[in-house]
Chains A and B, each alone.
Chain A
């Protein structure tokens, strides 16, 4: 109760402008009053959306203005209209879907294989220290390597087909998935394991009923981060050696000097990754129903 009663007093205290030794009272006082104006705004979803939309509109407006008025040359920065034109053409010719599907397939195959490989391994090194001792040197050496450094070897071994692109995604993702899984496994509350054993759970049951579900939330958060990394891997791989996919689309557009298409390709990558992320959030809600009230 005491803290509740103290709260208004605390607010007062923060609003009071302390004595300013420099004698510059003016800017301080203004800062406080501006702060109060914003405080009367409530961060409702509608207000947040409105602010977001207006900032995007402002950005697009400025972009359109500087390009349409000829302040910036079109070869240097294409206008938003020309980018939109390219977008419409991509949709009409069907090239957009071909590229999106080509890249997505590579990402989800490579990412999926990395999940199948690294999640069980991460749990294993989390619960069994010898496995960790075996894996530790590899993790330390592989983690700092950008996946792009695997491109020469992967082309040598796998050619420039799909397998090579998938391998780049795999190599760029699995170490992170492993580390996130390991950390999440380690963070499972030991008292829950104790309680489960006290209720007759054997090693296997502790694993299935306590460690796995306990680590799941952290693993999924890790997968969300890693999925974005997988996307940057595939784009890189496609820019170096591919004849389809969003990365190839951008790279070819660059070769043709088609900057509007480059920008449109970038927009498409952003949107595709956003959709992929949204799907992950849905999957997360489906897999973690017990966190439903923490989200609301």
Chain B
């Protein structure tokens, strides 16, 4: 592990603390002394009970919020302010309703000043990659939830950030759509090899997608365990039927279980 870390740690958190002030109450400590190194091209899944500070961590990586203390680094340099090199995929899609699928996918490129011709071609490529070719001129409100999340994937891949941050992107989708999108994400990742930090509370999802799985303790969030996912790549959804998968799953569950119980109850999967 050590040599890999020294080689290339693209994204890291060093002794990060984050507390929230709530008027009239004691400060809530969301993240406590969290340190983490993420390597170039790695797919990381962060799992943990609800309210363990997973999203807080991701929002800090994106620069949406700043830590109370500690440092967040991209290429060894501190992240200050919103960081476009860390592209975010939101659970609530955050698509611009007044832009078509094409307009949304082109948005990041347009903002970077890419010429209309080039951005059209690139958008076309990624829209096809997520199988939305027939819907390029539709507005988000005309699409299903699964299709909208595909648009956000195409949008983020087209804008080509160095790191992908995904905040439970598939949590609001039904089980079947979710499985299809996992498959697509897997396929795109095998192709693009982009550093990804993916938050989920679904262990199956984490095992299908990740190279390493970080288990966070319940609030305040700390790194409880890091599990290396030994399942071979390229992976397919059928990997879920293997014995190795089941063994890894029970290993991760053993870490997660007390945290979920300690937290009181398992909160509903679908918000």
Say if A and B assemble together.
yes
- A residues contacting B by CB (< 8 A) are 189, 191-192, 194-202, 205, 209-210, 213-214, 216, 288-294
A198 to B141, CA, bound (A): 22
Among candidates A195, A205, A289, A292, residue contacting B94 with C-beta atoms closer than 8 Å: A195
Q: Are A191 and B90 in contact (CB under 8 A)?
A: yes
Q: From residue A277, how far is it (CB to closest CB) to chain B in Å?
A: 23
Say whether A210 contacts B92, CB under 8 Å: no
Q: How far is the CB of A127 from chain B (nearest CB, A)?
A: 17
- A199 (CB) vs chain B CBs: closest residue: B108
Q: How far is the CA of A196 from the CA of B112 in the complex (A)?
A: 12
Measured CB to CB, the nearest residue on chain A to B98 is A213
How far is B77's CA from A152's CA once the two chains are assembled, in angstroms?
Answer: 66
Instruction: Report which residue of A200, A213, A214, A292 has the largest number of chain B beta carbons within 10 angstroms of its beta carbon.
Output: A200
Pairs A-B, 8 closest by C-beta atoms: A195-B94, A199-B108, A200-B111, A213-B98, A200-B84, A290-B139, A197-B82, A290-B98
- Using CB atoms, name the residue of chain B closest to A293: B142
When the two chains form the complex, which single residue of B97, B111, B139, B142 contacts A199, counting CB atoms closer than 8 Å?
Answer: B111
A-B contacts, 17 listed (Cβ < 8 Å):
A191-B94, A194-B88, A195-B94, A195-B96, A196-B96, A198-B83, A198-B84, A198-B87, A199-B107, A199-B108, A199-B111, A199-B155, A200-B84, A202-B111, A210-B96, A214-B97, A290-B140
* B12 on the A face (CB < 8 A): no
With beta carbons under 8 angstroms apart, the residue of A194, A200, A213, A292 that contacts B64 is A194
Q: Digit string of B81-103 for contact with A (CB within 8 Å is 1, else 0)?
A: 01110111010101011110000
Interface centre among B98, B108, B142, by most chain A C-beta atoms within 10 angstroms, is: B98
Distance of A194 Cα from B139 Cα, bound (Å): 20
**Please, how many angstroms separate the alpha-carbon atoms of A205 and B112 in the complex?**
11
In Å, the complex CA distance between A95 and B137 comes to: 49
B62 touches A (CB below 8 Å):
yes
A220 to B62 alpha-carbon distance, docked (Å): 34
Q: Specify the chain A residue showing the minimal Cβ separation from B112.
A: A200
Q: Is B66 an interface residue (CB 8 A)?
A: no
**Seed contacts A199-B84, A210-B96; 6 additional CB < 8 Å A-B pairs:** A195-B94, A197-B84, A201-B107, A201-B111, A213-B98, A293-B141
Tell me, yes or no, whether B182 is within 8 Å of chain A by CB: no
- Contact (A195, B98) CB under 8 Å given A290-B139, A293-B139: no
- Residues of A with C-beta under 8 A to B99: 290
Q: Roughly how many angstroms separate A198 CA and B139 CA in the complex, as a whole number? A: 21
- A291 CA to B98 CA in the complex, in Å? 8
Is B90 in contact with A195, judged by CB distance below 8 angstroms?
yes
Question: Nearest residue in A to B82 (C-beta to C-beta)?
Answer: A197
Assess the A290–B94 pair: CB atoms within 8 A.
Answer: no
Q: Which residue of B lies closest to A289 (CB)?
A: B139
In the bound complex, residues from chain A placing their C-beta under 8 Å from that of B84 are 197-200
**How far apart are the CA atoms of A200 and B107 in the complex, in Å?**
9
> Given A214-B98, A290-B141, do A199 and B90 touch, yes or no (CB 8 Å)?
no
Q: Give Cα distance in the complex from A143 to B107, angstroms.
A: 40
Q: Given A194-B64, A198-B84, A290-B141, A213 and B94 touching (CB < 8 A)?
A: no
Verify A294–B141 contact, CB threshold 8 A: yes
- In Å, the complex CA distance between A290 and B96 comes to 10
- B159 at interface, CB cutoff 8 A: yes
Central interface residue in A189, A209, A214, by most chain B CB within 10 Å: A209
Task: Contact check, B111 vs A191: say whether CB atoms are below 8 A apart.
Answer: no
Residue from B86, B92, B97, B159 with most neighbouring chain A CB atoms (10 Å): B97
Question: Which A residue sits closest to B84, measured CB to CB?
Answer: A200
Could you tell me if A200 and B108 are in contact, using CB atoms closer than 8 angstroms?
yes
Cβ of A198 and Cβ of B82 under 8 Å apart? Answer: yes
A119 to chain B, nearest CB (A): 17
Q: Tell me, rounded to whole Å, the shortest Cβ–Cβ distance linking A201 to chain B.
A: 5
- A213: contacting residue among B62, B96, B111, CB under 8 A: B96
Are the CB atoms of B62 and A198 closer together than 8 Å?
yes
**In the assembled complex, which residues on chain A have CB atoms less than 8 Å from the CB atom of B92?**
191
Q: How far is the CA of A199 from the CA of B155 in the complex (A)?
A: 9
Given the interface pairs A194-B82, A198-B88, the reply to whether A205 lies near B111 with Cβ below 8 Å is yes
Contacting residues, chain B, for A196 (C-beta < 8 A) = 96, 107, 111
CA distance A210 to B96 in the complex (A): 7
Kindly report which residue of chain A lies nearest to residue B140, judged by CB atoms: A290
Could you say which residues of chain B place their CB within 8 Å of the CB of A216? 98
Chain A residue with Cβ nearest B100: A290
Digitize B187-213: 1 where CB-to-A-CB distance is under 8 Å, 0 elsewhere: 000000000000000000000000000
How far is B94's CA from A185's CA once the two chains are assembled, in angstroms? 17
